[in-house]
């Protein structure tokens, strides 16, 4: 690749035609990006941008902006990257270049894919597909619109819809082979291999991975080589060939560190931790888990700060839904929450990791020295580990609060069982506040596809909200009722209290962040905002209404799991 780039650089010195020179600069910029030399890539992208603007070369201007977007994306600067891609899109739309519009929308989808917002990513990839001309005679292999088809397959893979994923990936592979598009062939093979890995067809997965590795090595594309090496290690781990697995993950880590690609470094740490855990080398497993956790925290904190700076551009996508004034107000609130969440979760993570490592190290030591610790002591240590895991989950929910949930982490749960678990955590508090709890659960199973901890969070927030309302009432018997029932294809959850009720004409303001009916200093107004956010992610509804006699009822309506969801393959 370096030889090829050097020849292109030599060409620019001989070329006098300005359009041709700018196109060569563009090709040099993208070639440097592909071998992860971002500094050089930026240099030539800037030359392309300056000359194209000066000579009104719109195609090259857009190509330069797109390269800047790709560079920022590879450095996990997602907000900057998104901004560049939107600028690119605007230029391509002005000249009605449909294949280039497809690739730009595809790149926007990639940002959401990397941020693990898979539903939003799929939305953009399908939108990009509308601009892809699948007529072989009209296809321009320089544009690489086959990557749109690949990315749709990748999202379906993340949703564990393997048949759909294979359909798109095999189509992209066939197309790429026809035109000799080696990079797209390698990427298609990697993801087809991951499908076989999920289906536990490990020999077939390794065939795909090794073919992809060979191609990526020929192209000197470390951005493909690193995830392929980790995938190879993952298949070896499942085959119980642990030495080969470690060798592959360590190669991936070395390459990721060479190009300082934080996301790949994080993934390599995660794979190494999992492999050492299977080997029962808990000390090394914990060491790499801590590195993985720290790197994840670093990427998240950096990313959040940059997203806040560019929050206006993020909200441009919602301009059809909100008036400009509402967008700015909401953005300001979200930015404040984001800053607080980043600081709080980062600070909590440090002592939390120390507790986790200490407790698990003692448990590991006890495995090596059975009987050295008394049974009650061991039980308490295990309780500490469970508590730390729960806090970890809460932190994750805080981090993902303002993003639309990735449904791939949902599971099928019995709603009644989840609610009972949540209520058990509040028994003591309710008793100390003098509140009677009344439970009426549906006789039939209410199976819902959701994140269990988020549902627990919903119930806890509603109960705590009711408890605070009842604290202001002194002359009556305080009561909270929790009712579940089935209504057509929905599960209903009703949380009813006999407190002071809601003010008139409060409407949807009730669910706004920072809005609270409490006295200043008594509450920040986050509880119901969190509840509304979680229920919205489940395509459910929430309604609050004052009771005829006294108090308020919150009525939640959540779709019950469909039959195909109940039978969904969860082997991966």
Give me the tens of pLDDT residue by residue for the chain, a chain 572 residues long.
Answer: 678 888 888 888 888 899 999 999 998 998 888 888 889 999 999 999 999 999 999 999 999 999 999 998 888 787 788 888 888 998 998 998 888 898 899 898 888 888 778 888 898 998 888 887 665 555 555 666 788 889 999 999 988 899 999 999 998 898 888 888 898 999 999 999 999 999 999 999 999 999 999 999 998 889 899 999 999 999 999 999 999 999 999 999 999 999 888 889 999 999 999 999 999 898 898 899 888 888 877 765 555 445 534 433 444 444 444 444 454 455 555 555 555 555 666 667 768 777 877 777 787 777 777 877 778 887 888 888 777 776 776 666 555 544 444 555 678 899 999 998 888 878 778 888 889 999 999 988 899 988 888 888 899 889 988 888 888 887 678 999 999 999 989 999 999 999 888 877 666 667 765 455 554 334 444 568 888 888 988 999 999 899 888 889 999 999 998 876 666 544 44
Residue ranges of the alpha helices (H) in 279-323? 282-309, 311-315
What sign does the dihedral 274-276-281-282 (CA atoms) show?
A: negative
Residue partners of 52: CB distance under 8 A and separation at least 6: 22, 58, 59, 60, 61, 63, 64
pLDDT given for residue 570 in this prediction: 46
Find out whether 175 and 135 touch, Cβ atoms under 8 Å.
no
Among residues 114, 481, 504, 176, the alpha carbon closest in space to that of 303 is found at 114
Q: Domains of the chain by range and CATH?
A: 324-405 (1.10.287), 410-566 (3.30.565.10)
Q: Cα-flanking dihedrals φ and ψ of residue 193, to 5°? A: -60, -40
Note the pLDDT tens digit of each residue in 433-471. 889 999 999 988 899 988 888 888 899 889 988 888 888
Instruction: Write the DSSP assignment of 431-495 as a string of letters.
Output: HHTT-EEEEE--SS--EEEE-HHHHHHHHHHHHHHHHHHHTT--SS--EEEEEEEEETTEEEEEE
Residue-wise burial string across 137-154, b where 16 or more C-beta atoms lie within 10 A, e elsewhere: eebeeebbbbbbbbbbbb
- What is the Cα–Cα distance from 392 to 384, expressed in whole angstroms? 12
What pLDDT does residue 64 have? 93
Extended beta strands in 251-291, E state: none
- pLDDT (0 to 100) of residue 239: 94
In this prediction, residue 368 carries a pLDDT of 75
Helix (H) or strand (E) holding 237: helix 222-238
Q: How much is the pTM? A: 0.50
Residue-level pLDDT at 409:
65
* pLDDT for the residue numbered 509: 66
Q: What is the pLDDT of residue 403?
A: 45
Give the Cα separation of 117 and 371 in Å (integer). 47
Which two three-digit tokens encode residue 16?
A: 């006098």
Strands 436-440 vs 479-487: parallel, antiparallel or unpaired? parallel
What is the spatial distance between Cα 147 and Cα 425, in angstroms, rounded to a whole number? 48
């Amino acid at each position: 690749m370096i030889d090829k780039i050097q020849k292109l650089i030599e060409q620019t010195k001989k070329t006098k035609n300005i359009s041709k020179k700018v196109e060569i600069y563009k090709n040099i910029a993208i070639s440097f990006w592909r071998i992860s030399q971002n500094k050089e890539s930026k240099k030539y992208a800037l030359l392309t941008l300056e000359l194209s603007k000066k000579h009104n070369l719109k195609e090259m201007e857009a190509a330069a902006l797109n390269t800047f977007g790709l560079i920022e994306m590879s450095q996990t600067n997602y907000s900057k990257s998104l901004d560049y891609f939107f600028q690119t899109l605007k230029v391509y739309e002005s000249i009605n270049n449909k294949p280039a519009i497809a690739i730009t929308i595809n790149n926007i989808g990639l940002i959401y894919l990397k941020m693990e917002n898979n539903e939003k990513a799929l939305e953009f990839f399908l939108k990009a597909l509308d601009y892809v001309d699948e007529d072989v005679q009209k296809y321009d292999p320089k544009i690489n619109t086959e990557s749109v088809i690949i990315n749709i397959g990748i999202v379906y893979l993340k949703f564990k819809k393997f048949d759909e994923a294979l359909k798109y990936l095999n189509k992209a592979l066939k197309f790429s082979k026809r035109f000799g598009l080696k990079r797209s062939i390698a990427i298609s093979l990697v993801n087809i291999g991951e499908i076989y890995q999920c289906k536990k067809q490990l020999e077939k997965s390794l065939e795909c991975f090794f073919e992809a590795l060979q191609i990526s090595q020929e192209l000197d594309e470390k951005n493909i080589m690193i995830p392929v090496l980790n995938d190879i290690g993952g298949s070896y781990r499942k085959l119980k060939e642990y030495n080969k697995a470690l060798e592959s993950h360590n190669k991936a880590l070395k390459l990721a560190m060479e190009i300082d690609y934080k996301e790949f470094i994080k993934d390599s740490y995660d794979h190494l931790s999992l492999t050492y855990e299977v080997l029962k080398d808990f000390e090394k497993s914990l060491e790499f888990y801590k590195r993985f956790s720290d790197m994840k925290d670093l990427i998240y904190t950096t990313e959040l700060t940059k997203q806040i700076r560019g929050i206006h551009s993020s909200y441009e996508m919602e301009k059809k839904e909100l008036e400009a004034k509402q967008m700015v107000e909401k953005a300001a609130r979200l930015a404040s929450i984001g800053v607080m969440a980043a600081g709080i979760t980062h600070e909590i993570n440090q002592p939390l990791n120390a507790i986790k490592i200490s407790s698990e190290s003692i448990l590991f030591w006890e495995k090596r020295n059975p009987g050295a610790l008394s049974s009650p002591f061991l039980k308490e240590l295990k309780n500490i580990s469970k508590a730390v895991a729960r806090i970890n989950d809460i932190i994750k929910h805080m981090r993902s609060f303002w993003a639309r949930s990735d449904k791939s982490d949902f599971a099928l749960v019995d709603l009644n069982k989840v609610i009972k678990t949540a209520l058990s955590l509040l028994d003591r508090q309710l008793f100390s506040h003098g509140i009677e709890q009344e439970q009426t659960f549906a006789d039939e199973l209410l199976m819902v596809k959701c994140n269990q901890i988020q549902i627990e969070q919903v119930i806890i927030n509603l109960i705590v909200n009711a408890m605070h309302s009842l604290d202001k009432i002194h002359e009556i018997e305080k009561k909270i009722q929790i009712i579940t029932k089935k209504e057509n294809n929905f599960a209903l959850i009703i949380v009813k209290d006999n407190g002071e009720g809601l003010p008139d004409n409060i409407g949807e303001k009730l669910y706004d962040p920072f809005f609270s009916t409490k006295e200043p200093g008594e509450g920040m107004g986050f509880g119901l905002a969190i509840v509304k956010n979680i229920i919205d992610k489940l395509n459910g509804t929430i309604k609050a209404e004052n009771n005829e006699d006294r108090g308020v009822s919150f009525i939640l309506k959540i779709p019950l799991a469909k039959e195909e969801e109940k039978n969904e393959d969860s082997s991966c």
